[in-house]
Amino acid sequence: MSAQDINCLQNSFQKAINMSGSPGIVSTSPTQSFMNTLPRRLSTSKQSKALKPFSTGDIKILLLENVNTAAIQIFKEQGYQVDFYKSSLPEEDLIEKIKDVHAIGIRSKTKLTANVLQHARNLVVIGCFCIGTNQVDLDYAANMGVAVFNSPFSNSRSVAELVIAEIISLARQLGDRSIELHTGTWNKVSARCWEIRGKTLGIIGYGHIGSQLSVLAEAMGMHVIYYDIVTIMALGTAKQVSTLDELLNKSDFVSLHVPETSETKNMLSFPQFAAMKDGAYVINASRGTVVDIPALVQAMQAGKIAGAALDVYPNEPGKNGANTYNDDLNSWTSQLVSLPNVILTPHIGGSTEEAQSAIGIEVAHSLSKYINEGNSVGSVNFPEVSLRSLDFDQENTVRVLYIHRNVPGVLKTVNNILSSHNIEKQFSDSNGDIAYLIADISQVNQSDIKNIYDELNQTSAKISIRLLY
């Protein structure tokens, strides 16, 4: 089939079903020239067919917060329209922008709340170009049929290395000495400056980052203990302790690596600082809600805590710039900045060239695979479903992506609709209230596809449908 034939088919098909270009409705194949630009995916020894939900250039992606250029390049190679911003957007601008896009890429600052998402009438997928997904209302997104992807470990090493730097910096009061010398003061002291060799590091949350940190800290001669809500195999000679209190009682340095949840809110507050060793140090590169900062300020003023390094805050500025970190943002800021031996960094734990480019590539690929093929493997809020690609020469085949409520009887209804055609392959899974079915149907013509769409669209459990071919 020539490129002209394919274009004709797209045009006539679009007219036949009176489509508006909305991703929820139906899809068209790409032009041949566009398909020639895509890497050929192989299924066994055959060439795979590149599925594409829209004509080239129809997919609109909004990228915020300076998502890495590697991602922009991948999206542009796919033929998507990319709208790129270095910072996050104020909520009203975000609501305006999100109305028309099919995908959005964010980092940790952009809050995709129900209030924002309800305006996203064309949204198919969200990419968090980071580890944390607490900034997205995951349930709301799932209930509107929007899959969310993140990068679960591409910046873990960068965070662990930052924390190592902070442990030594706090032990040697490096921040203060540097500030003093920058302002002309020579202050050569050894009082309350320590080696870290032989000291105990208590890690709260022994996941990807906590366990990396454990290995690095042991290599520098530290003893490592950790507390986690699940039992996790210790690396090296680290030891899991059974209570948070035990960790706090025994640690010289306490470093937090837990997600933001209702359980981790103010996980370190007045009682926990009281339980810590005199002169201990606190490091938080997880989320700003995990440490009660006014309680930390008091514990430091009382001399209980000898130093702290913070990378994250309950409220963070939406963009870089002078005079953005102040009491208007968090009421205790001026108290915190006036304390000695406090290292404050602007949420840069994952901000290395290596991490950002790896995240850019990983999340851009996840989004593209979901948009182009319906593959949800790795999604954080969706059932994980994938089907092997269609063969390159498979004509008259449609891939049905049917996201629905997880209620009894749905598969019977759907398979009744599909059963008069040839179901080549099918896969379905559920995750809580949401279920997702992918099926490849062969020997279908344009009117079959329209009928399949119309019939599925009338099913009561439907959340959203996409058809790819």
Ligand X SMILES: O=C(O)CCC(=O)C(=O)O
Ligand Y SMILES: NC(=O)C1=CN([C@@H]2O[C@H](COP(=O)(O)OP(=O)(O)OC[C@H]3O[C@@H](n4cnc5c(N)ncnc54)[C@H](O)[C@@H]3O)[C@@H](O)[C@H]2O)C=CC1
Active site residues: 287, 316, 347
Q: How far apart are CA 129 and CA 85, in angstroms?
A: 14
Minimum CB separation of residue 107 from ligand Y in Å reads 9
* Chosen from ligand X, ligand Y, none, partner binding at 258 (C-beta under 5 to 8 Å by type): ligand Y
Q: How far apart are CA 34 and CA 239, in angstroms?
A: 55
Per CB under 6 A, contacts with ligand X among 95-124 are 107-108
Q: Residue 39 gets which letter from DSSP?
A: P
* Binding of ligand Y by 308 (CB under 6 A): no
Among residues 2, 231, 263, 408, the one that binds ligand Y under rule CB under 6 A: 263
In terms of CB distance, is 351 or 426 closer to ligand X? 351
The residues, any chain, with a CB within 8 Å of residue 248's CB and separated by 6 or more, are: 202, 254, 272, 275, 276
* Chosen from ligand Y, ligand X, none, partner binding at 107 (C-beta under 5 to 8 Å by type): ligand X
End-to-end Cα, the chain, rounded Å: 14
- Taking CB under 6 A as the binding criterion, the range among 30-38, 45-53, 126-134, 274-282 that sits at the site for ligand X is 126-134
CA atoms within 13 A on the CB side of 363: 37
Q: What is the C-alpha R_g of the chain?
A: 26
* Binding of ligand Y by 166 (CB under 6 A): no
In terms of CB distance, is 158 or 368 closer to ligand X? 158
280 and 307 in contact (C-beta within 8 Å)? no
> What residue number has its CB nearest to ligand Y?
207
* Binding of ligand X by 259 (CB under 6 A): no
* Chosen from ligand X, ligand Y, none, partner binding at 210 (C-beta under 5 to 8 Å by type): ligand Y
Minimum CB separation of residue 183 from ligand Y in Å reads 28
- CA torsion sign for 259, 262, 268, 274 is negative
Closest CA to 279 of 245, 305, 250, 257: 305
Among residues 23, 105, 175, 349, the one that binds ligand Y under rule CB under 6 A: 349
Helix (H) or strand (E) holding 256: strand 253-256
* Binding of ligand Y by 317 (CB under 6 A): no
403 and 381 in contact (C-beta within 8 Å)? no
Minimum CB separation of residue 375 from ligand Y in Å reads 22
Q: How far apart are CA 130 and CA 6, in angstroms?
A: 38
Instruction: Kindly list the residues in this chain that would bind ligand Y in the complex (CB under 6 A).
Output: 131-132, 155-156, 159, 204-210, 227-230, 257-261, 263-264, 285-287, 311-312, 347, 349-350
Instruction: Kindly list the residues in this chain that would bind ligand X in the complex (CB under 6 A).
Output: 107-108, 130-132, 155, 350-351
